[in-house]
């Protein structure tokens, strides 16, 4: 990719982390960045908080401190957090059958699927077998009813297969059955509202003016994007392409207002870093104990490594998912500590939690890349953080 001019970069960066500022600037100059922000917390304190570029394709709106953007699957940590909060309070047993809380779910041979199978993408429900449109996805009752009625694609518990969109409805319906609230409401009430974290599963109307426009990379548009899905095995096509959502869909008021707890989160980099920081800081944030240390640790309880049935080809090595987040493992997807955890979002965003190093990172952007995982922009930022002398374990 040809080099382009580096836009003005605002915010602050501790001297020790100047390499992160340089990597952030290189993302604009060398890696096609349009608008983005990165935030790094060390032991809960902000050491990097940078933003720059443009919030729209026309380059008419500068990216600002308050700019929010859809972060796709980076959202999943927030939904997993809701489940871990309930488990921590004795209201949810992660080892219990899902049907304990959602009786209709026992249909089609799913009576033995456990809650931890939902959190670790091992439920065999990576996608629906019948066509499911975007407008139907916005219908919570319809989507969860179809998931309750469908049969698994593989034997639950045996292997992971990334649940790209269904994850949020599966975990989220368990949350709703226990609390009477959808995940967006429960998250805001229990975490993001009290802590003032700029992250929403369902975008409030008064925040719309702060939202950046998502822009597809030219290489991911149109027929080329469809060709990628055509090459996937059936379960992967169902998981990633039923329905197939892209930048144009996520820019609509309908998507932004919908309850999509696997992919519909909007946040700042600061907000993402704060959420993931709960798993870094033994459940503490801003002086408040949100989760017990034991509950915060459980999110990275590995469920067994394997080649993921949906995303396996995107990684050189087998991968392992904990109870809501991916372990860095041999791929070093979240830095050199194999027990660090995180989650990527479609197009490039990510959150990272490394308790041993005391580090959490949030990165958000609006020009979507074409990598299924480990976008070069992401990896450059992570590398720069650890080169600053942050311990890897």
Q: Which residues are catalytic?
A: 73
Place of tokens 């987040």: 325
- Phi (first) and psi of residue 3, to 5 degrees: -70, 145
* Cβ neighbours of 22 (radius 10 Å): 13
Report CA-CA distances (Å) from 172 to 169, 178, 184, 318. 5, 10, 9, 28
- Contact assessment for residue 335 and residue 386, using Cβ atoms and an 8 Å cutoff: yes
The residue count for the chain: 393
Edge-to-edge strand list for the sheet holding 199-200: 69-70, 266-267, 199-200
- Contact assessment for residue 262 and residue 182, using Cβ atoms and an 8 Å cutoff: no
How many whole angstroms separate alpha carbon 369 and alpha carbon 380?
Answer: 14
The gap from C-alpha 66 to its chain's centroid, in whole angstroms, comes to: 20
Cα torsion angle, 334, 338, 342, 345, sign = positive
């Amino acid at each position: 990719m040809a080099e382009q001019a580096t836009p003005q970069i605002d915010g602050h960066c501790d001297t020790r982390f100047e390499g992160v500022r340089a990597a952030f600037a290189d993302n604009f100059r060398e890696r096609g960045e349009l608008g983005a922000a990165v935030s790094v917390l060390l032991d809960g304190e902000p050491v990097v908080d940078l933003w720059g570029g443009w919030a729209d394709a026309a380059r008419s709106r500068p990216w600002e401190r308050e700019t929010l953007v859809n972060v796709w699957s980076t959202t999943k940590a927030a939904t997993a957090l809701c489940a871990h909060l309930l488990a921590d309070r004795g209201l949810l047993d992660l080892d219990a059958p899902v049907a304990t809380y959602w009786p209709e779910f026992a249909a089609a041979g799913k009576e033995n699927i456990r809650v931890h199978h939902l959190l670790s993408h091992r439920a065999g429900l990576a996608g629906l077998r019948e066509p499911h449109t975007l407008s139907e996805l916005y219908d919570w009752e319809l989507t969860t009813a179809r998931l309750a009625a469908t049969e698994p694609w593989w034997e639950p518990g045996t292997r992971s297969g990334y649940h790209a969109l269904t994850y949020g409805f599966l975990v989220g319906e368990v949350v709703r059955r226990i609390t009477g609230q959808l995940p967006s409401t429960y998250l805001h009430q229990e975490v993001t509202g009290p802590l003032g974290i700029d992250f929403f599963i369902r975008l409030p109307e008064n925040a719309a003016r702060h939202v950046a426009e998502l822009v597809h990379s030219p290489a991911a548009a149109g027929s080329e994007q469809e060709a990628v899905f055509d090459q996937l095995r059936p379960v992967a096509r169902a998981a990633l392409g039923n329905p197939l959502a892209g930048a144009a869909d996520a820019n609509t008021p309908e998507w932004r207002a919908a309850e999509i707890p696997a992919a519909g989160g909007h946040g700042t980099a600061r907000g993402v870093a704060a959420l993931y920081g709960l798993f870094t800081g033994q459940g503490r944030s801003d002086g408040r104990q949100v989760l017990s240390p034991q509950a915060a640790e459980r999110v990275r309880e590995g469920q067994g490594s394997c080649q993921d049935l949906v995303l396996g080809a995107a990684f050189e090595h087998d991968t392992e998912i904990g109870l809501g987040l991916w372990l860095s493992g041999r791929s070093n997807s979240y830095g050199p500590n194999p027990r660090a955890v995180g989650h990527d979002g479609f197009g490039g965003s990510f959150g990272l939690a490394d308790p041993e190093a005391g580090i959490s990172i949030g990165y958000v952007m609006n020009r979507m890349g074409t990598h299924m995982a480990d976008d070069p922009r992401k990896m450059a930022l992570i590398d720069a953080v650890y080169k600053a002398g942050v311990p890897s374990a």
